[in-house]
Amino acid sequence: MTHPIEDHGLLRLLTCGSVDDGKSTLIGRLLFDSKAILADTLSAITKTSQRRGMQEVDLSLLTDGLQAEREQGITIDVAYRYFTTGTRKFIIADAPGHEQYTRNMVTAASTANLAIILVDARRGVLTQTRRHSYLAHLVGIPHLLVAVNKMDLVEFSQARFEEIKRDYLDFAEQLGIREVQFIPLSALNGDMVVDRGENLNWYQGQTLMEILETTPSAQRRHAAAFRFPVQYVCRPQDASNPALHDYRGFMGRVESGSIAVGDSVTVLPSGLSSTVKAIELGGAALADAATEQSVTLLLADEIDISRGDMIVKTGELPAQTKQLAATVCWLAESPLDRARTYLIRHTTRDTKAKLADIAYRVDVNSLEQQAVNQLAMNDIANVTFKLAQPLFVDAYAQNRGTGAFIVIDASTNNTVGAGMVS
Amino acid sequence: MFFSQQQTAHQHLNHLDWLEAEAIHILREVAGQCSNPALLFSGGKDSICLLRLAEKAFRPGRFPFPLLHIDTGHNYPEVIAFRDRKAAEIGERLIVRSVEDSMQRGTVMLKHESESRNKHQSVTLLEAIEEHGFDACIGGARRDEEKARAKERIMSFRDEFGQWDPKNQRPELWNLYNARSHKGENIRAFPISNWTELDVWQYIEREGLELPSIYFAHTRPIVYRQGSIVPVTDITPAKPGEEIVDLQVRFRTVGDITCTAPVISDADSIEKIIAETATTTITERGATRLDDQASEAAMEQRKKEGYF
């Protein structure tokens, strides 16, 4: 019963841009042209638009779901949207663009593999463009796409497009962004979104939809070292089934790299080694497992392993540290307090942590480094934490899975910080 | 029994493999982080997917949680029979708590006899959570169902009154889920948040999952009422002057009889349902959930009060 249609998997993306760059219109256009907006939804937002005295249907109503958002006409939190082209499924993390919502953009960016950075063709590269590019780069989104929107308002001028492209590349170089794609489009008319249209014939590249359909979804972590944080240990202990008496399955998701039956592995923190005896998924035996697959590993030797341990390939060990240097985005209203003890959650491991040092805070508009004593909400800074237990980490730039952590306030249980290992 | 089209290390996962892997990861995080979770199982299509995902996450071990159903007493008998048979078949514990019991306790008071009991499920759910001391409830909600759900976290925090505060949600980054809670608080975990209605049907097809018969096209007596098709049952009889007609219908969503309407369809197989779902112009809840249409924020309001 398999489908004859090719399946290009799933791509997670983020759209960003300043308030009037046409972000909602672009999302609306993608959803509309791919038929993800259904008639009853459209009729509901048409009614609301009319009630508010608007001439045309306000597609931004599609993305503003909460009561307070509809009342105020603003977006206050990340929302997730879905559409499919038949061959690939897309998840859009729709984050608000306002400066005070840096934390929301970091949240949305953390799972994205592609960022569409919208630039208004009339206004060119703005502070917001720089801020969003910096954040997208910081969070390690592997594919950046600058969409020069509202080309209809600059008479579809190639010269204007090239000018914006040059401006952007100058700035991208300063940030160390190596790869970036550019596309001219009109979200309002639909030129170069799904259809090529007639107005941008000087542009020879792919349409936005073609880019979205062909961008690799997770290639970087496929090439990285094998990392398998243990989530759960399966010991069936079923008296009626003696065959399962010695079953010890280590359950988790392959954060990066791949593993095959017969590979030799080391278990952290014990440092003990064994070989992979079997890989299972739902009762089926697999020869190997790749990045992002949730599987069960069985090892040849009896080693004591529990949740929070990590299985890696022998000879490909991550760094072990009790002094965690990282870039942190502070997410909470109460500031990061030197006197307090926090919890850091890294993969499936939790440890107590205290702030040891703030090297500098980054001004996300000017990218200037500033000396500060504490971190407030939306601040991004380079800090060092002192840990109660060692963590096994990779640099975030090398591995998003084992280079990321969250900071939890143990008294409220809230997630208060997002960290990326330096 | 299980599918055979496994990926090798050098291929990318197809979209169902990816969604499945993510859901398994989330289920195992609940099991790893929470001490006493429950999985909400109604016998509907989304929770049927959840059961298969739980099998893939925890077999050959037992589920580290019981199944829990909040029964309004107004469910289609086919679905209840299916629920009981399925729980027995997979050999896991099923706990049923009913709105009727809450009514007898006096914690649920209906305004009138025919009022929908759907929203009162929240009360019974919170009572069940308290009775059993559950610190997490795993549910089959999807973000594509409704605009308030589009903003919901995968691990969604509820305070000791079961309330959801959409303006004060925990940020959720990478795949680092925070399911910590204090005693009396509760985490609602949604492993299939990123699935759409079509994904669910494609997964049901791929895994060969069995469903209650009312999901497939069948002939049923109905009346037309305010633009909706209302099934004629003991609980929802025809009103005076309404004409009863036999119609070929199926249910896209299965819940309380008083607020779930079927759609006209001749899709009597999963293949046909997939084809229909891929080309429909009406959302799953748009055509079929009478309760969501009460106001623009109906779902958000109910979720704030502790509804799923």
Query: What distance in Å separates the CA atoms of residue B126 and residue A358, rounded to the nearest whole number?
Result: 44
pLDDT at res. A189? 85
Residue A261: list chain B partners with CB under 8 A: none
pLDDT band at residue A262 under the 50/70/90 scheme = very high
Interchain CB contact of B196 with A (< 8 Å):
yes
What percentage of residues in chain A have a pLDDT greater than 90? 66
pLDDT at res. B259? 79
Query: What distance in Å separates the CA atoms of residue A417 and residue A409, rounded to the nearest whole number?
Result: 9
User: CB A348 to CB B56 under 8 A?
Assistant: no
Q: Is the ipTM of this complex over 0.95?
A: no
pLDDT at res. B285? 55
pLDDT digits (tens, 9 = 90+) for A184-243: 999 888 899 988 999 999 999 999 999 999 998 866 677 789 999 999 999 997 777 888
Task: Give first-to-last CA distance, chain A, whole Å.
Answer: 47
pLDDT at res. A39? 61
Least confident of A251-260, B49-58, B152-161: B152-161
CA angle B265, B266, B269 (to 5 degrees): 115
Q: Which of A38, A233, A353 is nearest to B287 (CA)?
A: A38
pLDDT band at residue B283 under the 50/70/90 scheme = low
Interchain CB contact of B77 with A (< 8 Å):
no
- Provide the mean pLDDT of chain A: 88
pLDDT at res. A31? 80
pLDDT at res. A278? 97
Out of B64, B171, B297, name the one closest to residue A107 (CB).
B171
Structural tokens at position A139: 């969070």
Query: Residues B81-98: what's their mean pLDDT?
Result: 96
Sign of the C-alpha dihedral computed for residues B70, B76, B80 and B82 taken in this order? negative
Q: Would you call the peptide bond into A229 cis, given omega within 30 degrees of 0 as the criterion? A: no
Query: What distance in Å separates the CA atoms of residue B133 and residue B186, rounded to the nearest whole number?
Result: 9
pLDDT at res. B29? 98
> What does chain A come to in residues?
422
Q: Is the pLDDT of residue B72 over 70?
A: yes
Transcribe B6-60 into DSSP letters: PPPTTSPPPHHHHHHHHHHHHHHHHHHH-SSEEEE--SSHHHHHHHHHHHHHHTT
pLDDT band at residue A287 under the 50/70/90 scheme = very high
Q: Which of A325, A342, A344 is nearest to A396 (CA)?
A: A325
pLDDT at res. A86? 77
Q: Which residue of B has its CA nearest to A330?
A: B171
Residue B271: list chain A partners with CB under 8 A: 1
Interface test with A, best of B4, B35, B62, B147 (most A CBs within 10 A): B147
Structural tokens at position B165: 């505060």
pLDDT digits (tens, 9 = 90+) for A338-388: 999 999 999 999 999 999 999 999 998 888 999 999 999 999 999 999 999
Interface test with B, best of A406, A409, A420 (most B CBs within 10 A): A406
Query: What distance in Å separates the CA atoms of residue B41 and residue B128, rounded to the nearest whole number?
Result: 14
CB distance A328 to A359 below 8 Å: no
pLDDT digits (tens, 9 = 90+) for A158-184: 999 999 999 999 999 988 898 999 999
CB distance B216 to B267 below 8 Å: yes
- Classify each residue of B185-205 as buried b or exposed e, where b means 16 or more C-beta atoms within 10 Å of its C-beta: bbbbbbbbbbbbbbbbbbbbb
CB distance A6 to A87 below 8 Å: yes
Query: What distance in Å separates the CA atoms of residue A420 and residue A344, rounded to the nearest whole number?
Result: 12
pLDDT digits (tens, 9 = 90+) for A72-108: 444 446 888 888 887 899 999 887 656 567 888 899 9
Q: Is the pLDDT of residue B107 over 60?
A: yes
pTM over 0.95: no
B95 forms beta bridges with B68
Interchain CB contact of B271 with A (< 8 Å):
yes
Q: Which of A335, A342, A320, A321 is nearest to A407 (CA)?
A: A342
The number of helices, as runs of H, and strands, as runs of E, in chain A is 8, 22
Torsion of CA B44, B45, B50, B52, to 10 degrees: 120
- Phi, psi (degrees; rounded to nearest 5) at A396: -60, -35
Sign of the C-alpha dihedral computed for residues B264, B268, B272 and B274 taken in this order? positive
SS3 B277: helix
SS3 B112: coil
pLDDT at res. B297? 54
User: CB B8 to CB A288 under 8 A?
Assistant: yes
Query: What distance in Å separates the CA atoms of residue B228 and residue B290, rounded to the nearest whole number?
Result: 8
pLDDT digits (tens, 9 = 90+) for B188-221: 999 999 999 889 999 999 999 999 999 999 999 9
Out of A216, A244, A346, name the one closest to residue B60 (CB).
A244
More confident residue, B75 or A60: B75
DSSP letter for A391, please.
E
Query: What distance in Å separates the CA atoms of residue B68 and residue B38, rounded to the nearest whole number?
Result: 6
What type of residue is A243?
A
Place of tokens 């919208």: A118
User: CB A401 to CB B174 under 8 A?
Assistant: yes
